Amino acid sequence: MLSASVTIDPAFVVGPVRPRTFGSFVEHLGRSVYTGLHDPGHPTADADGFRGDVVELTRELGVTTVRYPGGNFVSGYRWEDGIGPVEQRPRRLDLAWHSTEPNLVGVDEFVRWCARAGVEPMMAVNLGTRGVQEALDLLEYCNVAGGTEWSDRRRANGAEEPYRIRMWCLGNEMDGPWQIGHKTAEEYGRLAAETARAMRMVDPDLELVVCGSSGSQMPTFGAWEHTVLTESYEHVDHISAHAYYWEEDGDLASFLASAVNMDHFVDDVAATADAVRAAGRHDKRINISFDEWNVWYQQRAESRPPSGDDWPVAPVLLEDRYNVADAVVVGNLLISLLRHTDRVHAASLAQLVNVIAPIMTEPGGRSWRQTTFHPFALTARHAAGEVLRLAVDAPVQETAKFGDVPALDAVATHDPETGGVVIFAVNRSLTDDLALEVDLRGFPGLRVAEAVTLSNPDHTWSATADDATSVLPRTNTTAKVADDHARAELPPVSWSMIRLERV
């Protein structure tokens, strides 16, 4: 058995646990909206056609914000198509995913869904095929009380009160050649600055997210952030980061260490933003909205869009079926996001339903929780107060992609109001149990309130509609506290949560 030690001290505070860390993402892509969120024939559907079972699962998942409507989709989207009488809305080609968009769901329906699900809407504007004026029109529709063309149209469409959406994304992945309206960093930085400046003339209290790199593997990574922020620094609050991780060639050890890449990504973006801050002598600090992250098997058949004359509505796309190892990685990526709470002020798991998602549905039928649902839901539910910086001494695991990495990765949160401490940990070893010892002398008088571990001898087990419960986070009976030290045994390829409370 491997062994690792962790020391926790209340003085080593990284920053607060930010509710927006537990955001998600809904794009008009595949079955994310249609037969995912929206399924009028479903037995639980409401007056807008939204599935009640998905609303309840969204609440259980602990999602706080939802980014909408994309994603690649937004770079060709005409938001006006999705307002007014549904029967009068046009059908459009969606070039991003080679599909047909029926516009049965638009901004009004989405905001009503957010209210029912108890989440904050995070809106994206099209800076691919459109620009400043269209962004201003959408902002006016959403946030102006009345007395103008677009605000009065919203009122006529049934929303008397403005939506007051606070967080706005200035386009999506504009560094990517796959993006409709792809731009150079100089072109996009100038457009983003102009759009942000104009939007603040309508509402100065907005929180604006400028597009960062769509992955650290991009050849323009770093230079893109530097140029875009040089143009827009004073007008925006956050820069986005996007990252997806997938197992390649059976290299499970590297896959389990994916959070190492996320750590480097965040550190590099923060350093670049701070370099622009110093060079421009800016007072404020730009933080990170990690508004797309997940495990994604991009080479699978379900990730290939239709082609030719086939332009279907809501085709099956990106419907990955996640296994136990995927859930361990998702839990580890959340550990990384929490560890960087000083700079990551928002994040969005991409996506929420059916499309690389923790929630799956059958059209008109059942819904179920994927393996990745559980670490996200438990972390969102129990991480509270402050994130603490840990001192970790752990054996190393050799990986092909990242070299030697710690076999244990962990983070802890401390709630000063209750005195409770929660430890989130992963054992990256492929074969060995790990004996974890946590020095709690900075928190005397704690006991185990709950300890659960997600693992399985077969790490390739996946949930289905027929069996979503055979492998769940189970009580870890080895977790004990004695002499102000917590001890637990963590099986290989596992994610664990140990929740401690005052005696």
Predicted confidence at residue 301, as pLDDT, reads: 73
Instruction: Tell me if 341 sits within 8 A of 387, measured CB to CB.
Output: yes
Catalytic residue status for 302: no
Domain identity same for 341 and 482: no
Domain identity same for 175 and 214: yes
Domain identity same for 369 and 491: no
Domain identity same for 430 and 368: no
Domain identity same for 454 and 371: no
Residue from 134, 140, 292, 489 carrying the catalytic annotation: 292
Distance separating alpha carbons of residues 498 and 479, to the nearest angstrom = 8
**Residue where a domain stops, chosen among 348, 382, 416:** 382
Predicted confidence at residue 303, as pLDDT, reads: 76
Our CA angle for 179, 183, 185, nearest 5°, is 125
Distance separating alpha carbons of residues 122 and 24, to the nearest angstrom = 10
Instruction: Tell me if 375 sits within 8 A of 330, measured CB to CB.
Output: yes
Tokens representing 42 are: 């479903």
CATH number at residue 438: 2.60.40.1180
Predicted confidence at residue 272, as pLDDT, reads: 98
Distance separating alpha carbons of residues 261 and 159, to the nearest angstrom = 44
Domain identity same for 361 and 398: no
Domain identity same for 172 and 200: yes
Beta bridge partners of 124: 169
Q: Map residue 223 onto helix, strand or coil.
A: helix
Distance separating alpha carbons of residues 201 and 210, to the nearest angstrom = 17
Domain identity same for 277 and 229: yes
Residue-by-residue pLDDT tens, the chain, 503 positions? 999 999 999 999 999 999 999 999 999 999 999 999 999 999 999 999 999 999 999 999 999 999 999 999 999 999 999 999 999 999 999 999 999 999 999 999 999 999 999 999 999 999 999 999 999 999 999 999 999 999 999 999 999 999 999 999 999 999 999 999 999 999 999 999 999 999 999 999 999 999 999 999 999 999 999 999 999 999 999 999 999 998 767 899 999 999 999 999 999 999 999 999 999 999 999 999 999 999 999 887 777 899 999 999 999 999 999 999 999 999 999 999 999 999 999 999 999 999 999 999 999 999 999 999 999 999 999 999 999 999 999 999 999 999 999 999 999 999 999 999 999 999 999 999 999 999 999 999 999 999 999 999 999 999 999 999 999 999 999 999 999 999 999 999 999 999 999 98
CATH number at residue 135: 3.20.20.80
Domain identity same for 143 and 235: yes
Distance separating alpha carbons of residues 315 and 24, to the nearest angstrom = 21
**Residue where a domain stops, chosen among 367, 382, 397:** 382
Tokens representing 93 are: 């080609």
Catalytic residue status for 173: yes
Predicted confidence at residue 131, as pLDDT, reads: 97
**Residues in the chain, total:** 503
The total number of structural domains that make up the chain: 2
Predicted confidence at residue 266, as pLDDT, reads: 98
Domain identity same for 305 and 393: no
Q: Map residue 104 onto helix, strand or coil.
A: coil
Taking each helix axis from N to C terminus, what angle separates 107-117 and 52-61, rounded to the nearest 10 degrees?
60
Domain identity same for 207 and 285: yes
Residue from 173, 194, 231, 386 carrying the catalytic annotation: 173
Domain holding 420, by residue range, is: 2-9+387-502
**Residue where a domain stops, chosen among 332, 358, 382:** 382
pTM of the model: 0.97
Neighbours of 365 (CB within 10 A): 12
Domain identity same for 436 and 470: yes
Give me Rg for the CA atoms of the chain.
23
What is the DSSP code (8-state) at residue 76?
G
